[in-house]
């Protein structure tokens, strides 16, 4: 029995030495140590060995089993390591300092940046963002906002009409009506969005952006409107920016005002010295505003005896042009990278 074990060990060792890959090693393991393997079979014969011989033979058989198993495992591991090393060497990168492909970082469009900033300022004052359709009916865009039937804004000259009496909204004010129809006061909303007009020159674009504001509650006054707009101007342009309200007219507000800020270019001081931005007036118009006309409140079934409100409409391009000193509105829409990259 001991001789058989010796022969088996020698044969296994020889076979192990000539194993060239993992499959051969596994086959070898099965051949000797598997359930039906040669060593396993010998171990079963142990019962037939004389009792006094059995401990010696058993110990020898076990030693071979353990050592052979260990040797197979070690060789498998070392072949694995070798294979990985070879792979690493053949996959190697030649020069990690070589420049990679050109990476072009994007930038948020300046009009989007300014819109976000405006919304953020009014968020801070408790306003919620609302939204409405860009294709409107005459009712929402005009009639409900108290435009008389013969108002010139309804003219083909200004408004893009689409079929079936629908039109592209000319301002964000119709969203006031949509929101008030759905909700009861108190409400404070801000509405950023695209608007459309038949207009195209250095300061006008057929599509442009506004942010509408509306606050309705009991006992709201013009002082609330002025304080709110003051807050906006200070946050947007800085503490010391002058601001004034000028009487104006909008069909949906009474009284109405246009709001000017001091020209940041000449600071209102260099009057009559050729300021390109303000035409030497020292002031720049930045938005329209007013107290919601009682007729508009009635159109949405709000009791004008009980509720008052104020509204305002900010031109996003106008704010962005003043903020960044841009004099041609078309730069916003051309998509030219040298312009846009400056806002990264
Ligand atoms: N909708 C006006 C426009 O597009 C702007 C405006 C003026 C909005 C006064 C208002 C407002 O809410 O109160 O010219």
pLDDT along the chain (344 residues), means of 10: 84 86 86 86 82 84 86 87 87 81 86 98 98 97 93 79 94 98 98 95 92 97 98 96 96 97 78 74 94 98 98 97 92 92 90
Give the span between the Cα atoms of 154 and 137, in whole angstroms. Answer: 12
Instruction: Dig out the tokens for 46 from the structure.
Output: 């142990």
Q: What pLDDT does residue 339 have? A: 94
pTM of the model: 0.71
Other C-beta atoms lying within 10 Å of the C-beta of residue 120:
11
Nearest CA to ligand 1 atom 4: 171
Q: What pLDDT does residue 270 have? A: 54
Ligand 1 pocket, 250 CB below 6 A? yes
Give the span between the Cα atoms of 180 and 167, in whole angstroms. Answer: 21
Residue 253 CA, chain-centre distance (Å), reads: 36
Ligand 1 pocket, 319 CB below 6 A? no
Atom of ligand 1 nearest to the CA of 170: 4
Structural domains of the chain sorted by starting position, each given as residue range(s) with its CATH number in brackets: 2-94 (no CATH), 110-343 (3.30.930.10)
Atom of ligand 1 nearest to the CA of 292: 13
Ligand 1 pocket, 146 CB below 6 A? no
Ligand 1 pocket, 190 CB below 6 A? no
Give the span between the Cα atoms of 158 and 171, in whole angstroms. Answer: 11
Ligand 1 pocket, 290 CB below 6 A? yes
Closest by Cα among 123, 308, 106, 83 to 211: 123
Q: What pLDDT does residue 237 have? A: 96
Other C-beta atoms lying within 10 Å of the C-beta of residue 284:
21
| For ligand 1, mutation pick of 122, 171, 191 (most atoms within 8 Å of CB) | 171
The residues, any chain, with a CB within 8 Å of residue 70's CB and separated by 6 or more, are none
Q: Are strands 243-250 and 253-262 parallel, antiparallel or unpaired?
A: antiparallel
Give the span between the Cα atoms of 119 and 312, in whole angstroms. Answer: 13
């Amino acid at each position: 029995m001991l001789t058989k074990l010796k022969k088996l060990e020698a044969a296994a060792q020889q076979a192990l030495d000539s194993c060239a890959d993992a499959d051969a090693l596994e086959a070898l393991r099965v051949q000797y140590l598997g359930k039906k393997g040669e060593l396993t079979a010998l171990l079963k014969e142990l019962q037939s060995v004389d009792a006094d011989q059995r401990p010696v033979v058993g110990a020898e058989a076990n030693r071979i089993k353990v050592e052979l198993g260990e040797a197979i495992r070690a060789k498998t591991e070392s072949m694995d390591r070798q294979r990985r090393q070879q792979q690493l060497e053949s996959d190697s990168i030649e020069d990690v300092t070589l420049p990679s492909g050109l990476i072009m970082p994007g930038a948020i469009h300046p009009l989007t940046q300014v819109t976000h900033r405006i919304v953020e300022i009014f968020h801070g004052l408790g306003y919620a963002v609302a939204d409405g359709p860009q294709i409107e009916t005459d009712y929402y865009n005009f009639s409900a906002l108290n435009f008389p039937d013969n108002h010139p804004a309804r003219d083909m000259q200004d408004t893009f009409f689409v079929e079936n009496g629908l039109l592209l909204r000319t301002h964000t004010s119709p969203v006031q009506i949509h929101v008030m129809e759905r909700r009861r006061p108190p409400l404070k909303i801000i509405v950023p969005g695209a608007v459309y007009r038949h207009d195209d020159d250095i300061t006008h674009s057929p599509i442009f952006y506004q942010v509408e504001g509306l606050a309705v509650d009991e006992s709201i006054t013009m002082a609330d409107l002025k304080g709110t707009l003051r807050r906006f101007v200070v946050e947007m342009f800085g503490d010391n920016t002058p601001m004034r309200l000028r009487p104006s007219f909008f069909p949906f507000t009474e009284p109405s005002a246009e709001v000017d800020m001091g020209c940041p270019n000449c600071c209102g001081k260099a009057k009559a010295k050729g300021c390109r931005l303000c035409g030497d007036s020292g002031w720049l118009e930045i938005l329209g505003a007013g107290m919601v006309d009682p007729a508009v409140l009635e159109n949405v079934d709000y009791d004008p005896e009980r509720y008052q409100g104020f509204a305002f409409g900010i031109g996003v391009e106008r704010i962005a042009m003043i903020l960044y000193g841009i004099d041609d509105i078309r730069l916003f829409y051309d998509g030219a990278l040298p312009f846009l990259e400056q806002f990264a």
